[in-house]
Chain A
Amino acid sequence: MSGVQVTEATIKELCDVAQLAVELAKKAGADDAEVLVRDGSELTAKIRLGEPELVQEAGSRALGLRVIRGGRRAVTYTSDLRRDSLEALCAETVTLADLAEPDEFALPPDPALLAKSYPELDLYDPRVAEVDAAWALKQAIAGEAAARKHDARVTNSEGATWSRVLGATAFATSGGFVGGYRGSYASLVVEPLCDDTTDPTTPKKRNGYWWTASRFLADLEAADAVGIEAARRTVATLGSRKVETQECAIVFDPEVARGIVGTVFSVANGSSFWRKSSYLVGKEGELIASPLVTIVDDPLIPRAPGSKPFDGDGLPTRKNVVVDKGVLGPVLCDVYSARKLGGGRQSTGSAGRGIGGNPGPTTTNLIMSAGTMKRDALIRDTKKGLYVTSLMGFGFNPVTGDFSRGAQGFWIEGGELTFPVSEITIAANFDEILKRIDAVADDLTLRSSTAAPTFRVSHMTLAGTSR
């Protein structure tokens, strides 16, 4: 399987293509051009009830081009990287840009700000590339088998999937930036299923999951441990029921707490600020959350899932403090949103860029700092409330901060997890949610690019059955 290894030579080749496309775009009449090239391959091995269900293996390559001419922008993409095709693409993109209207802020970054060099962040593990389909299937089978063996109440399975992606990214701009890096990512997810006949008139099925993921093969949890945890979590939901509508404390498990932290970013970035589509507009430097809340975005952590050495504008990446003990820091910006916001604001090195789009602010490793309390102590300290393990739906209005989501979890009574709960919603204004965080646990792990420890919100409205 050495054919899928991403080598330094691959990165060099992609950088060369990116630079060639920049040149061709300039020749075609662009004032400025920016080119992103990605090369990736995937292996997905899915099994169900011990048998292979899907093996998918393929590689792909794509190039995204943005040209600016007289402040007018156009963005195009293709998977055809032959020189004559690129020439045609460049000409077409320039023609397209002429149809746009000039935007005085759509200028390339000051060349002095571009990254001159960038750090090696150890994001690629050749061992991940060495995995073949047979080994991947074996891991998935082991994970599922452990789940089914762990508890007889696991009666069915939605399967287990071992997958990996390998990729190289290169970026070049007419301002003189050129750079590239490679990355690997592997994961295993196990999804057991139980029959729930607690109420024999309405039998239901209960699903659950657990997962492990890392850039490095050696950092993955053992397949059977993942399976056992998946079974434990699924079986625990048997007999889930609604509770009465009421105000109560809400404790967020790390699996959902990280989603809340992601929501903070959605209203604390330069793009939502200049668009005035965030309830936090104008609140930089103010207390927007409990003093227990500190959130950083750190792209420079070696081996971490969200790390990257330079941003989508070609600027060096850096650690940014988004919320410092409850106080909103400067929001994350790319070059464009910093310019739009004005007042001498600079990019925070937070530009993200996809193949077919304009850059915009993004996160790398967005992390809420751990507190000092043990998770068990936090639950013991909660008289009455809901421990939330999963959220459903999209009920968040960034403009007003109104937040309402479907939730599943466990009822807390007298400091103990009692019975499982489902089919209820939790709601409050996001501003209140952040300010009401009154306990943060110490159980932070960096398994995903957005991460948070367990925390508690003193009270929210839970909607369930009528009183």
Chain B
Amino acid sequence: MTSTTTTLPAALRAPFAAGGSNAIDAALANRLLSIALEAGGDYADIYFEFRVSADYALEEEQIRTLGRGITLGLGVRVTKGDATGYAYCEDLSWEKMAHAAKTAGQIAAAGGHAPIGVAALASVSTPSFYDVPTPSLVVPAPDKLALLRAADKAARAFDPRIIKVEASFAESIKEVLLFTSDGRMATDVQPLMRFGVRATAEDAGKRQAGSGGGGGRYGLDYFADARRDAAAHGREAARVAIAMLDARDAPAGEMPVVLGPGDSGILLHEAVGHGLEADFNRKETSNYSGQMGKNVASPLCTVVDDATIQNSRGAVNVDDEGYAGQRNVLIENGVLVGYMHDRLSAKHYGIKPTGNGRRESFRSMPLPRMTNTSLLGGKDNPEDIIKSVKRGIYAKRFSGGQVNISNGDFLFSLTESYLIEDGKLTAPLKGVNLIGNGPEVLRRVDMLGSDFELSDGIWTCGKDGQSVPVNVGTPTVRIASITVGGTQA
């Protein structure tokens, strides 16, 4: 048990936790799992979730809205071969829970075997990657409203051309309790916060916006570091908006691109990360299917998915199937060495689960998902990398990306980028997309900086309609050639 749980006030503790108003113990879990397996399923798990969230928004220099929400529910999953039955309920009465268990179990109704027993339940020992003594939800709201005001003030003070600032703070605590028919029992308390600022600049009829923000599995101590306090995020949003006022139309066509450290990891997330989620490979729908042990990237590239990074937005003590979070090497010196697995795919490949089975909520089945995905640093001096480019693009900030798993085509959107001319950053460029093919682009990585950086925690990854918090990281990277989607042909 971590100190996060011990210090929480009663209103933030899950009713299903020990001592709660609706405490669920191993005996009750065993009964539910038995009902789930009655029709002949191979495996079942029950996943209890309690989530309290709050959000605060400032606009036009005023605190505009405060919001709060509570979610409570149980998800029941039963598998039979590769088939999954799933049901959930929001009311933890015995009748509703038993009904959900029975409904999920129906997947095995045709061709199920005699019910198998539920193994004796034993707690999974979980590491602690986000021990937050005072979660922000415990702190009175005015302290958080002060952060919004500080960001607003700093953004406006940055430049008189800043005409508008929006700031937001979102926080949540999610408590989960999980039991599996193969005998695992796990619990975790997951704090999460995200701070965001958006500034709009106007000058001579031109308008541009910029954003800044960060967060992770922290308490308000996150803001104690002056490089990422509320004012710093405000100034960063203003800086981008002002810089973009001079932006010119971006070029169109193939050229070298230098990715700045940190946020650029989103390229990696899209270009290779999703393709290495094992469900796609199990079904042979990924272009990385059957590539294990083969060269899939430049030998400079080592890619890891690491759930163990302290307080990072993507950190996972225990995944949503009851397996401990861990560090998994996916690509080593250009060679594909591992996929990210959930229970189903690990079973298919006959290996141990990798702790990547995640779900958005009790309403969804787990899928193999990324946690904190990074391209590790190399040996080049970042300045030398920029100097090496005669004409190309320097990519600094991104709004997001997308990938087609099957053919590997990915696209990502730049919100701050610069033209590189004769080894120097010259003009800022208007918002532009980069498009490429994952494996092809990774083969074209020909310089790798020594300045590895983890992005500040802002990213959310979507897959099959499920959103989970993730993080990304990368050093400065040079890609020999990629298609830039500007308007200047």
Looking at the complex, which of A97-105, A145-153, A262-270 is the stretch in contact with chain B?
Answer: A97-105
Q: Which residues of B are found within 8 Å of A60, using beta-carbon distances?
A: 73, 88, 90, 363
Known: A53-B83, A205-B287. A99 touches B485 (CB 8 A): no
- The interface bits of chain A over 401-444 (1 if a CB of B lies within 8 angstroms of the residue's CB, else 0) are 01011101000000000000011111111000000000000000
Q: Which of B382-409 contact A (CB under 8 A)?
A: 399-402, 404-409
State whether A74 and B66 are in contact (beta carbons under 8 Å apart), knowing that A397-B430, A423-B435, A425-B411 are contacts in the complex: yes
Contact of A77 with B69 in the complex, beta carbons under 8 Å: yes
The reply to whether A96 and B84 contact each other, CB–CB distance below 8 Å, is no
- Asked whether B86 lies within 8 Å of A54 as measured between CB atoms, the reply is yes
Residue contact B435 to A406, C-beta cutoff 8 Å: yes
CB-CB < 8 A to B68: which residues of A? 74-76, 92-93, 96
Residue B354 at the chain A interface, CB threshold 8 Å: no
| Per-residue interface assignment for chain A, residues 71 to 90, with 1 indicating a CB less than 8 Å from any chain B CB and 0 otherwise | 00111111110000000000
Asked if B200 is at the interface of the complex by the 8 Å CB criterion, the answer is yes
Q: Does A176 contact B (CB under 8 A)?
A: no
**Which residue of chain A lies nearest to B255 when distances are taken between CB atoms in the complex?**
A466
Whether A356 lies near B489 (C-beta < 8 A) is no
Contact residues on A (Cβ < 8 Å of other chain), bracket: 35 or more
Nearest B residue to A93, CB-CB:
B68
B86 touches A55 (CB 8 A): yes
With A245-B252, A425-B435 as contacts: A156 and B87 at CB distance below 8 Å: no
Binds B, one of A19-27, A109-117, A303-311, A387-395: A387-395
- The chain A residue sitting closest to B73, CB to CB, is A79
Q: Could you say which of B103, B142, B413 contacts A58, with CB atoms under 8 Å apart?
A: B103
- Cβ of B107: which chain A residues have Cβ within 8 Å of it? 52, 55
B213 within 8 A of A: no
CB contact between B433 and one of A133, A202, A406, A465 (< 8 Å): that residue: A406
- The answer to the question of A374 belonging to the interface, with a C-beta cut-off of 8 Å to chain B, is no
> Would you call B124 an interface residue if the criterion is a C-beta within 8 Å of the partner chain's C-beta atoms?
no
Give the residue of B90, B365, B437, B486 whose beta carbon is less than 8 angstroms from that of A79: B90
In angstroms, how far is the closest chain A Cβ from the Cβ of B414?
9
Tell me if B62 counts as interface (CB < 8 A to partner A). Answer: yes
Instruction: List residues of chain A with CB within 8 A of the CB of B207.
Output: 276, 399-400
Contact present for A74 and B65 (CB under 8 Å)? yes
**A206–B406 CA distance with the chains assembled, in angstroms:** 6
Do A277 and B200 touch (CB < 8 A)?
A: yes
Instruction: Establish whether residues A48 and B406, one from each chain, have CB atoms under 8 Å apart when the complex forms.
Output: no
* B-side contacts of A422, CB under 8 Å: 407, 409
Determine the chain A residues whose CB is within 8 A of the CB of B252 once the complex forms: 245, 425, 427, 461-463
Report Cα–Cα, A429/B432, bound state, in Å: 11
Q: A400–B283 contact, CB under 8 A?
A: no
User: Could you mark each residue 203-236 of chain B with 1 if its beta carbon is under 8 Å from any beta carbon of chain A, else 0?
Assistant: 0001111000000000000000000000000000
Indicate whether A53 sits within 8 Å of B89 (C-beta atoms), given known contacts A75-B65, A80-B72, A206-B407.
Answer: no
Q: Decide if A58 touches B433 in the complex (CB within 8 Å).
A: no
* Number of A-B residue pairs at CB separation under 8 A: 240
Q: Is the CB of B365 within 8 A of A245?
A: no
Q: A246 in the interface, Cβ–Cβ < 8 Å?
A: yes
B349–chain A nearest beta-carbon distance, Å: 17
In angstroms, how far is the closest chain A Cβ from the Cβ of B200? 7
* Residue B285 at the chain A interface, CB threshold 8 Å: yes
- Is B436 in the interface zone, CB < 8 Å from A? yes
Interface digits, B78-106 against A, CB 8 Å rule (1 contact, 0 not)?
00011111111110000000001001001
Query: Within 8 Å of chain A (Cβ to Cβ): is B4?
Result: no
Is A57 located at the chain interface by the 8 A CB criterion? yes
A51 at the interface (CB under 8 A from B): yes
- Whether B69 contacts A358 by the Cβ 8 Å rule is no
A96→B141 contact, CB < 8 A: yes
B396 to nearest A CB, angstroms?
16
Contact yes or no, A275 B164, CB < 8 A = yes
Within 8 Å of chain A (Cβ to Cβ): is B412?
Answer: yes
Contact check: which of A75, A100, A202, A428 meets B487 at CB < 8 Å?
Answer: A428
What is the interface of chain B, defined by CB distance below 8 A to chain A?
62-73, 81-90, 100, 103, 106-107, 141-142, 145, 163-164, 200, 206-209, 250, 252-254, 283-287, 289, 363, 365, 399-402, 404-409, 411-413, 430-433, 435-437, 439-440, 483-489
20 residue pairs bridging A and B, Cβ less than 8 Å apart? A52-B83, A52-B107, A55-B84, A55-B86, A57-B103, A58-B89, A75-B66, A79-B90, A80-B72, A206-B406, A392-B435, A395-B411, A408-B409, A425-B433, A425-B485, A427-B433, A427-B486, A428-B487, A463-B483, A466-B253
